[in-house]
Structure 1
């Protein structure tokens, strides 16, 4: 998710990375390597089992699914056997419904407004019924009954902002960033419903059917004005340019809405506040402190005399890679306590530096793979908050300890297409623009580990495409310490368990291929980007997305497959073109081009 500040996200987001920690068996220490290997294996290896398989005939429809968990989330020992089976069947059913019905994209609507068939079948009918019912009650001057629709709307607005909603995620595949879309949608609908409720009151007063109720009128007006103000101050422009102001105003107006709405009589809305409050208590009072300070109990050694968190200040390092890019990392597992940070590929977290502001939590994609030994972020300085992060990085370009405390909340989100299930996809296309390469790097590394370490032979082809504005941006994300020294690991996947691993100079090219596009720079023979990188660079050009997808679709058809996984993160224009092209080619080629798009802001 990169766009926080709102644009300060790390994915992209939605919305940046470079060193990867790798373990040395001989020394027993973790070594810091400030390079960005596209493929980096580790000793960790898990096997997944699947109860379902994709069957059926291609209907010529592309699908872009809701974000959420996959069956790969189920890990042995966390559930009893019968609960494991039940959950797998529920998740399998949800994925099938998403692929075949609710996640089916609609021309224009999906690429421009992120609306899919499920929205037309469920969301908009519900909204239409609520507004039509409220309008009828308002025209009938039924003041009491017309207050129910806005109360229901307010209840939904509160429920949809709960970050750790496991039921919503497991059953509907609706992760937090996607739920925020509906949070904002129903916030607008609630303002309309509240306005119709006020109209019913005014009409009833005009016809002399209702005496003046000073308290009701005052509380209702204050709540309505506060809701309108919240809506206006939540626009993308305000959030991106004045994020701190947006957060403070949102909290203040939220209190006004809640208090005056309840006094007015909308007590049902409190049912949405309770899970939101419990979620916030869990995040801020338990999970964030555990990451920073360690848990009271350690699963391996019982009660600990000293608590040490995996994201404790002395575990976090920071380095400035370029004039506007910072890399932050910490060990995935702390060596002395075994405290760990668990996540899935493609997820993101919220970062907060209390020294800047305790209210500002910005989303950043995790640019490392769960199979690597370090958790990494790459942050591009776009807004005020990220520029402050850039300022605290060591000025000499060397890696150093983070000079102040950083808090982490997450992970959140997930991929909206089920790449975890080997039975679904064998062909993958990953498209990224600029700093949007961060989630695509994580996913590509994970796919490589699945293919060669876990022997997932179902993976036939992976195409990675990265577009940058100039060669300096590319070099900053690849080079070590933003200097001329470049790591050989960028194109070589080495495993501690094997003396030799496949590189992109031999058999790996049969399955994994990489293309880099530099749109505004010229080649420089005296200052190459990196070994084996320059030969893959295409200057002054942009990728032909239609051609790339068509070629991958033809390869999939030759292998007897009916689906191609398309993952994209970058500028809006790139994502819109990718979605629109996928829809068109799906109809034309009688294939499913299933698209997961990672947004820069939410």
Structure 2
């Protein structure tokens, strides 16, 4: 129990900034809700409207205030150029832990989305009550306010501009009234796209039917257009002549019967508050429009596919060139193939290093789009294809990831599962080139590389790079710099196991040809992290992972577990690829 408490305490410490940001986000939402609730609950200018609607008015307006804040934030985390710019400009002036929060931009985007859904539900149901009470106000069952509410509902002067009840007649169709006013039909145009966007963002649909996710997400355009026009109808109306007409005094007894006759109680005047949401979202909307313009201009620049190489395990390598294109190790790009679709963009990690005269991606064929791309690019298996026969490719990016920080640690632990090895191809190449440059001084002194693969074919397209890096380290008398751990998790036969067992004393691995031998099964992460901690006391170790969520959770727990033990003084800092 003591160990668990100590571990939980360390997790709170290491995630302190992120937890603080989440807490601040929650506090701001609560404060906004309370402030707007009290404004509409106690505000004298809304006295008559409160008499008509009760608590549903402050609930509706308070949730709207919180919604404005979240709708303001939700676009910022997907301004990828802005985040990449911040990452680059803050490298020297920000602490690593502060900079790492940029890697959680998708989590912030999701947090805002879920919060928008919650406040939308509150806002929707509150207005359902409001709409019903607007109709009931013409014939209120409450005898004490029945005639007052009917009098308020009947107020009509100055060209129908002075009303407080948007339902102008008790004999009307509620659905017709809903679509007769701007807040009614814009509310529908907000809610329906939101439902489609959120439901299509589930893990199952996003991974299995990416096109559905992509297309429905672009309904955000409809969402924001309806959002900024939602308040134009001025349905929530405040009293404007409080100095001449005190609502608390003029509503007592039967004074409402003599409004306009009593000098101290002239007719109350009402006016809509006007649209407010645009003031919240205009800034992020402008930034996002600039973001899309930059991405459009950049994506229209000419890209030359210089080479296509087919690898085993249904992996296709595209080598491309583009004027002025510069990268950092571990970054990613979005690709579009107009021959397949003029709208669809798909993210891929760069597998080339900044020192190469081209940039490359490795595409695993795992869906309709990637299958069509492979069909257009490839004709004969395991062949190199000429650029003249290749389709046009548009490239947007590059965009930054946590892998850019690998050189900020003395020791790195790189963990990849399957095709998740792609960002580390770029990183290992960059390490190789920097090691070859005698003038380059590097803080990094040790790399532990783990690759968990389901079958031997998955090794083939990447093993040449590992072999080159390993040989280079041996030539420079730095064989200990890179430790390669490849785990073959399934698919071997008894015959293969027998052959491998007989060749275990060979100098090189029988499967990969590497000096480091392939291991079978899955790694025991407790043993691995304990070994690394003992070998690197008093060291800040960067743990970088690309792969499935289950393994990510395990590695995150291991990083926290073996950092909280201060016996070695080793501090593991967990980083996960998000794009």
Query: CA 1:197 to 1:318, structure 2 compared with 1: closer, same or farther past 3 Å?
Result: same
Equivalent position of 2:127 in the other structure: 201
Equivalent position of 2:554 in the other structure: 577
In 1, are the aligned partners of 2:453 and 2:459 still within 8 Å (CA)? Answer: yes
Aligned partner of residue 199 in structure 1, secondary structure: helix
Q: Which has the larger radius of gyration?
A: 2
In 1, are the aligned partners of 2:328 and 2:404 still within 8 Å (CA)? Answer: no
Q: Comparing 238-247 with 162-171, which one deviates more in the overlay?
A: 162-171
Query: For 2:515 and 2:64, how far apart are their aligned partners in 1?
Result: 66
In 2, are the aligned partners of 1:460 and 1:511 still within 8 Å (CA)? Answer: yes
In 2, are the aligned partners of 1:429 and 1:463 still within 8 Å (CA)? Answer: yes
Question: Greater RCO between the two (CA within 8 Å, min separation 6)?
Answer: 1
Query: For 1:176 and 1:359, how far apart are their aligned partners in 2?
Result: 27
Query: CA 1:105 to 1:144, structure 2 compared with 1: closer, same or farther past 3 Å?
Result: closer
Query: For 1:343 and 1:544, how far apart are their aligned partners in 2?
Result: 35
Aligned partner of residue 356 in structure 1, secondary structure: coil
Query: For 2:26 and 2:546, how far apart are their aligned partners in 1?
Result: 27
Query: CA 1:122 to 1:193, structure 2 compared with 1: closer, same or farther past 3 Å?
Result: same
| 2:523 counterpart (543, 547, 557) | 543
The structural deviation recorded for 1:410 is 0.4
Which structure has greater helix proportion?
2
Aligned partner of residue 74 in structure 2, secondary structure: helix
Equivalent position of 2:194 in the other structure: 227
Equivalent position of 1:267 in the other structure: 278
Q: Are 2:195 and 1:211 aligned? A: no
Describe the superposition over 1:429-467 as per-residue Cα deviations: whole angstroms up to 9, x where unpaired.
111111111112222332344445244364332111212
Q: Are 2:220 and 1:254 aligned? A: yes
- Normalising by structure 2, we get a TM-score of 0.69
Equivalent position of 1:391 in the other structure: 375
CA RMSD of aligned residues (A): 3.4
In 2, are the aligned partners of 1:146 and 1:200 still within 8 Å (CA)? Answer: no
Query: For 2:36 and 2:191, how far apart are their aligned partners in 1?
Result: 16
In 1, are the aligned partners of 2:310 and 2:317 still within 8 Å (CA)? Answer: yes
Query: For 2:33 and 2:65, how far apart are their aligned partners in 1?
Result: 11
Q: Comparing 125-134 with 442-451, which one deviates more in the overlay?
A: 125-134
| Equivalent residue runs for 1:451-490 within 5 Å | 451-453=435-437, 454-456=439-441, 458-478=443-463, 490=466
| 1:433 counterpart (376, 392, 417) | 417
| Equivalent residue runs for 1:86-485 within 5 Å | 104-105=14-15, 116-130=18-32, 139=55, 141-142=57-58, 143-144=60-61, 146-166=63-83, 169=87, 170=89, 173=99, 178-207=104-133, 208=137, 211-212=165-166, 214-215=180-181, 216-251=183-218, 253-265=219-231, 266-268=277-279, 269-284=281-296, 286-290=297-301, 292=302, 311-312=303-304, 315-331=305-321, 339-392=323-376, 393-402=378-387, 403-415=390-402, 418-421=405-408, 425-453=409-437, 454-456=439-441, 458-478=443-463
Query: For 2:9 and 2:385, how far apart are their aligned partners in 1?
Result: 46
Aligned partner of residue 536 in structure 2, secondary structure: helix
The structural deviation recorded for 1:276 is 1.0
Query: CA 1:416 to 1:61, structure 2 compared with 1: closer, same or farther past 3 Å?
Result: farther
- Normalising by structure 1, we get a TM-score of 0.66
Q: Comparing 177-186 with 362-371, which one deviates more in the overlay?
A: 177-186
The structural deviation recorded for 1:62 is 11
In 2, are the aligned partners of 1:62 and 1:591 still within 8 Å (CA)? Answer: no
Q: Are 2:535 and 1:555 aligned? A: yes
Query: CA 1:323 to 1:532, structure 2 compared with 1: closer, same or farther past 3 Å?
Result: closer
Aligned partner of residue 310 in structure 2, secondary structure: strand
| Equivalent residue runs for 1:43-62 within 5 Å | none
In 2, are the aligned partners of 1:568 and 1:597 still within 8 Å (CA)? Answer: yes
Aligned partner of residue 147 in structure 1, secondary structure: helix
In 2, are the aligned partners of 1:552 and 1:564 still within 8 Å (CA)? Answer: no
The structural deviation recorded for 1:255 is 3.2
Q: Are 2:577 and 1:598 aligned? A: yes
| 1:587 counterpart (564, 567, 570) | 564
Describe the superposition over 1:540-583 as per-residue Cα deviations: whole angstroms up to 9, x where unpaired.
322222222222222221xxx33111112222222211110110
For structure 1, the 5+ residue unaligned runs are: 1-58, 65-99, 107-114, 293-310, 479-486, 495-500
Query: For 1:576 and 1:145, how far apart are their aligned partners in 2?
Result: 37
In 2, are the aligned partners of 1:61 and 1:591 still within 8 Å (CA)? Answer: no
Query: For 1:119 and 1:128, how far apart are their aligned partners in 2?
Result: 14
In 2, are the aligned partners of 1:317 and 1:401 still within 8 Å (CA)? Answer: yes
